[in-house]
Chain A
């Protein structure tokens, strides 16, 4: 959708075959669709949030349980994103630049969280770490809490955000090929030098793109986290869970105020994403 693509397309088909009317009709339908399903709900969130004025909005965000949910969401993202970044880059590097047995299996496994319902992703951890689960009794005997506590929330979030960085990097790295790395090695660079000075700079924008998507999901995940949270106020409620609680307590203004934080996050994500997308294309065009 961004500029380079449209110019590229235009260069290829000099004479569009569809009549003017059809093109305008298609654009119109797309615009109406976008307004109805994206712009309107977004506007509704903000108008509801600010319905009773800015001071009420601020007061709703300053409430201790809300603050604690924001803190928990930030902690969760701060743990999950770096871990998934590390995993994503290593996995993508291994898959794109080397051949080894079981490579296809690894690619399939990385995709697993995309194909599994988030509820199942949460239940997995309850079944393993829950009191009736495999190692629940042992954990309890040693006073270690995983599910219904922060570690469980982080585990479930890592699971659902697992594929984002790797999925973004693999095609990019594969498209770039191995030539530059091979050249570096021939010129006498060590493996690490090659990685940090050749591979990494080449995929910089791809990484940012993956990280921002991963972060958005880590902060916004509802299903999996809901299963492992236990919903203890001020302790194990993340922002999305807290929005639901506020809504169910007829506290609509506060619910939408907190929801507007997530909407802000989405807008920033979209912005950074478009920039990264554009830069990725540039990087690809340069190679």
Chain B
């Protein structure tokens, strides 16, 4: 066999192989249905993941995003919005999708840390210089302090706010459920209006200039400051707050039907890698990997839903279902 022939054969084989692998490299799209404040986080993370995935498998993956109120988004998935993965504000909303059989029960055990790759908490956004001297939750019930928070019936963030206040009162010396209810009643008396979502409340506080303090997701508070003026607002991180664990999961029915399970799982797992954790930290979420540096203030005590309220199912039923504590104590201002 002469050399020339050999080269031809090798070139042909190499060409065929490269064409074959090129044909195998596929274009995949994923849809991530998420809640309101994660827009910037996932815009960033999706790019990072696409790069990683192309390097690893050669496939080009495009992740599409949809954002809205957490419960509304869950409702959309239930009604057929084809999400390969959901990344929502609270486990209860994912449970609602599970009830319709789209996600397998026990989803929260699939990924580490209750399937929450990052956590967040509730902080206070106040006017520059903190003129009303708001330091902790008990400052919110003082007369003359106007508090902005969204409606817990429609907003996931508002439910965290409500439960954070409740947990605070519960854990004070001599605190119990009755005391907590009294505390939250007083707090709601200081709320002039309830918007339907977290971004709505932020706009009310920031754009319309209503209220002395906004109860907000930690990352929302930072975003508002960065986007709208560090010279106008301050963030107050209370010494105690609630540990918000926004969970993520694959929507089994959709991923299996579309054949995207592998990339969907890789996408969520990538949130737990150093790069994923760094991106979360960059957008003011608290990474669960404690080695990742974060700019966020330490909070002395963080109460969890499981420990303070016995889980989301129970918390939802006691506090936010029709006739729950919120309905009992909230009287709209006439």
Is A235 a contact of B199 with CB atoms below 8 Å? no
**Contact among B40, B76, B199 for A230, CB-based, below 8 A:** B76
Interface membership of B120, Cβ < 8 A? no
Enumerate chain B residues within 8 angstroms of A232, measured Cβ to Cβ. Answer: 31, 64-66
Residue of A nearest to B36 (CB): A248
Residue of A nearest to B77 (CB): A131
**Contact among A132, A148, A234, A245 for B82, CB-based, below 8 A:** A148
Residue of B nearest to A148 (CB): B81
Q: Which of B80, B223, B227 has the most CB of A within 10 A?
A: B80
Enumerate chain A residues within 8 angstroms of B81, measured Cβ to Cβ. Answer: 148, 230
Enumerate chain B residues within 8 angstroms of A248, measured Cβ to Cβ. Answer: 36, 199, 203
Is A148 a contact of B76 with CB atoms below 8 Å? yes
Is A148 a contact of B223 with CB atoms below 8 Å? no
Interface membership of A98, Cβ < 8 A? no
Interface membership of B67, Cβ < 8 A? yes
Interface membership of A249, Cβ < 8 A? yes
Q: Known A248-B199, A250-B227; judge A235-B80 contact (CB<8 A).
A: no
Interface membership of A28, Cβ < 8 A? no
Enumerate chain B residues within 8 angstroms of A250, measured Cβ to Cβ. Answer: 223-224, 227-228
Q: Known A248-B199, A249-B39, A250-B228; judge A147-B80 contact (CB<8 A).
A: yes
Residue of B nearest to A139 (CB): B80
Residue of A nearest to B68 (CB): A231
Q: Known A232-B31, A248-B199, A249-B39; judge A131-B78 contact (CB<8 A).
A: yes
Interface membership of B317, Cβ < 8 A? no
Q: Flag A224-247 by CB within 8 Å of B: 1 or 0 each.
A: 000000111111000000000100
Q: Flag B230-273 by CB within 8 Å of A: 1 or 0 each.
A: 00000000000000000000000000010000000000000000
Q: Known A248-B199, A250-B223, A250-B228; judge A132-B66 contact (CB<8 A).
A: no
Least CB distance from A82 to B in Å reads 28
Interface membership of A118, Cβ < 8 A? no
Cα–Cα distance between A118 and B40 once the two chains are bound (Å): 30
A99-145 residues at the B interface, CB under 8 angstroms: 126, 129-133, 136, 140, 145
**Contact among A132, A147, A233, A245 for B64, CB-based, below 8 A:** A233
Enumerate chain B residues within 8 angstroms of A230, measured Cβ to Cβ. Answer: 66, 76, 81
Is A231 a contact of B66 with CB atoms below 8 Å? yes
Least CB distance from A139 to B in Å reads 8
Cα–Cα distance between A140 and B31 once the two chains are bound (Å): 17
Residue of A nearest to B40 (CB): A249
**Contact among A130, A133, A148, A233 for B65, CB-based, below 8 A:** A233
Enumerate chain B residues within 8 angstroms of A132, measured Cβ to Cβ. Answer: 78-80, 100
**Contact among B79, B100, B228 for A147, CB-based, below 8 A:** B79
Q: How large is the interface on A (under 10, 10 to 19, 20 to 34, 35 or more residues)?
A: 20 to 34
Enumerate chain A residues within 8 angstroms of B203, measured Cβ to Cβ. Answer: 248
Least CB distance from B325 to A in Å reads 29
Cα–Cα distance between A231 and B34 once the two chains are bound (Å): 11
Cα–Cα distance between A145 and B258 once the two chains are bound (Å): 13
Least CB distance from A175 to B in Å reads 46
Q: Known A232-B31, A249-B39; judge A126-B66 contact (CB<8 A).
A: no
**Contact among B66, B79, B224, B228 for A131, CB-based, below 8 A:** B79
Enumerate chain B residues within 8 angstroms of A234, measured Cβ to Cβ. Answer: 64
Enumerate chain B residues within 8 angstroms of A249, measured Cβ to Cβ. Answer: 39-40
Enumerate chain A residues within 8 angstroms of B65, measured Cβ to Cβ. Answer: 232-233
Cα–Cα distance between A129 and B82 once the two chains are bound (Å): 13
Cα–Cα distance between A231 and B65 once the two chains are bound (Å): 8
Is B228 a contact of A231 with CB atoms below 8 Å? no
Least CB distance from B154 to A in Å reads 14
**Contact among A145, A147, A233 for B66, CB-based, below 8 A:** A233
Q: Flag B15-59 by CB within 8 Å of A: 1 or 0 each.
A: 000000000000000010000100110000000000000000000
Least CB distance from A214 to B in Å reads 28
Cα–Cα distance between A233 and B33 once the two chains are bound (Å): 11
Cα–Cα distance between A176 and B256 once the two chains are bound (Å): 61
Enumerate chain B residues within 8 angstroms of A147, measured Cβ to Cβ. Answer: 79-80
Enumerate chain A residues within 8 angstroms of B228, measured Cβ to Cβ. Answer: 250
Residue of B nearest to A236 (CB): B66
Least CB distance from A249 to B in Å reads 6
Least CB distance from A36 to B in Å reads 20
Cα–Cα distance between A140 and B67 once the two chains are bound (Å): 23
Least CB distance from A137 to B in Å reads 9
Enumerate chain A residues within 8 angstroms of B66, measured Cβ to Cβ. Answer: 230-233
Is B80 a contact of A140 with CB atoms below 8 Å? yes
Residue of B nearest to A136 (CB): B80
Cα–Cα distance between A126 and B81 once the two chains are bound (Å): 10
Enumerate chain A residues within 8 angstroms of B36, measured Cβ to Cβ. Answer: 248
Cα–Cα distance between A264 and B199 once the two chains are bound (Å): 28
Enumerate chain B residues within 8 angstroms of A126, measured Cβ to Cβ. Answer: 79
Instruction: Tell me the B residues contacting A by CB distance below 8 Å.
Output: 31, 36, 39-40, 64-68, 76, 78-82, 100, 199, 203, 223-224, 227-228, 257
28 residue pairs bridging A and B, Cβ less than 8 Å apart? A129-B80, A130-B79, A131-B79, A132-B78, A133-B79, A136-B79, A140-B80, A140-B257, A145-B80, A145-B82, A148-B79, A148-B82, A230-B66, A230-B81, A231-B66, A232-B31, A232-B64, A232-B65, A233-B64, A233-B66, A234-B64, A235-B64, A245-B67, A248-B203, A249-B39, A249-B40, A250-B224, A250-B227
Please name the 6 residue pairs, one residue from A and one from B, whose CB atoms are nearest each other, closest first: A131-B80, A130-B79, A250-B227, A148-B81, A230-B81, A231-B66
